[in-house]
């Protein structure tokens, strides 16, 4: 299902956010802030940008999506379900014993998941390998890699950055969730990352910084990446952790905890009100 208009994408992001809350509450485990902050980007990727067929998850010409920050799995599962990979009801088994909705995605368990993730700092390297394989196989698919800002504190990420530049992987688009939080606090207090776009440019990448909730800016950045030749692209998406839920926004404490039942009810009520406002817009 492709959505061409911004209003439709915003409504899908709102649906995804509600799905995330409904997953986290019964699981009583999981990460809240990151998935909520990434919902706008996932709505654009899965319902506007990427080329795939849920009925044929192993279709050779599909675009590939690599989730490096695997703790944000709720937003991936909600997006995949709404895109038609599996029934939305299955997401309610999130983190249950035997469920395909593992806390961190498993490629072995769930068709449509391109990489097993959990240990941070590995996803960009995996994405580089997939992009390089596509070039060697003369395939036209594109590779989209979602990364966190916190995992850029790890050296393995920068090894992948160098490799992508060396091989001029212009079929690779990486997105960094620049929400400035990690489990222990603000990234700039723990291990400052500074001007990430400047760093990527110094490594030979095309780098763009955007508001991670500005749909037109995000879509323009993805179009720009598609036109870029000879260099991989990094989109630094500045997001609000916990976006859409007032008591979670910009609070690092929500990085790794789920809402309690009463908090979940409040979150869903706020998101329902947001949906009404979006629907009422011209």
pLDDT tens for residues 64-74?
Answer: 999 999 999 99
Predicted confidence band of residue 282 (pLDDT cuts 50, 70, 90): confident
* Dihedral in degrees, nearest 10, Cα atoms 185, 259, 266, 11: 80
Summary mean pLDDT of the chain? 97
- Token pair in block for residue 87: 């029934």
pLDDT score of 279 more than 90: yes
Determine which helix (DSSP H) or strand (DSSP E) holds 162, and give its type and residue range: helix 155-166
Q: How many other C-beta atoms lie within 10 A of the C-beta of residue 10?
A: 22
State mean pLDDT over 70-81: 98
Tell me the C-alpha distance between 161 and 124, whole Å: 8
Q: Report CA 162 to chain centroid distance, whole Å.
A: 22
Tell me the C-alpha distance between 118 and 122, whole Å: 9
Q: How many helices (H) and strands (E) does the chain have?
A: 9, 7
Pairing assessment for the beta strands 181-182 and 172-178 based on DSSP bridges: unpaired
Contact 82, 16 (CB under 8 A): yes
Determine which helix (DSSP H) or strand (DSSP E) holds 235, and give its type and residue range: strand 233-238
Provide the pLDDT for residue 1.
Answer: 80
Region for 130 from its dihedrals, namely left if φ exceeds 0, alpha if ψ lies in -120 to 50, beta otherwise: alpha
Contact 203, 162 (CB under 8 A): yes
- Token pair in block for residue 260: 């309690």
| 6-280: CATH topology | Rossmann fold (3.40.50)
Helix (H, G, I), strand (E, B) or coil at 16: helix
pTM of the model: 0.97
pLDDT score of 149 more than 90: yes
Q: How many other C-beta atoms lie within 10 A of the C-beta of residue 250?
A: 15
Helix (H, G, I), strand (E, B) or coil at 182: strand
Predicted confidence band of residue 208 (pLDDT cuts 50, 70, 90): very high
pLDDT tens for residues 98-137?
Answer: 999 999 999 999 999 999 998 899 999 999 999 999 999 9
Provide the residue ranges of all domains of the chain, joining segments of one domain with +: 6-280
């Amino acid at each position: 299902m492709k959505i061409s208009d911004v209003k439709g994408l915003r409504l899908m992001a709102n649906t995804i956010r509600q799905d995330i809350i409904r997953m986290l509450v019964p699981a009583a485990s999981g990460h809240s802030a990151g998935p909520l902050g990434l919902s706008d980007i996932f709505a654009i990727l899965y319902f506007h940008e990427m080329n795939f067929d849920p009925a044929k998850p192993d279709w050779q010409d599909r675009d590939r999506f690599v989730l490096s920050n695997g703790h944000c799995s709720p937003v991936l599962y909600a997006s995949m379900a709404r895109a038609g990979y599996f029934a939305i009801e299955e997401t309610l088994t999130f983190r249950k014993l035997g469920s395909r909705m593992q806390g961190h995605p498993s490629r072995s368990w769930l068709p449509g998941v391109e990489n097993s993730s959990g240990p941070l700092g590995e996803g960009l390297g995996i994405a580089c390998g997939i992009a390089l394989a596509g070039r060697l196989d003369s395939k036209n698919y594109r590779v989209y890699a979602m990364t966190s800002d916190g995992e850029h504190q790890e050296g393995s990420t920068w090894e992948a950055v160098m490799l992508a530049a060396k091989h001029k992987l212009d079929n690779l688009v990486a997105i960094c969730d620049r929400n400035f939080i990690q489990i222990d606090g603000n990234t700039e207090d723990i291990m400052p990352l500074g001007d990430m776009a400047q760093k990527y440019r110094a490594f030979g990448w095309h780098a763009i910084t955007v508001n991670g909730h500005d749909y037109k800016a995000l879509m323009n950045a993805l179009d720009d990446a598609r036109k870029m030749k000879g260099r991989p692209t990094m989109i630094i998406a500045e997001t609000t952790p916990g976006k859409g839920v007032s008591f979670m926004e910009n609070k690092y404490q929500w990085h790794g905890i789920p809402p309690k039942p009463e908090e979940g009810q409040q979150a869903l009520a706020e998101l329902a009100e947001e949906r009404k406002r979006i629907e009422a817009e011209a």
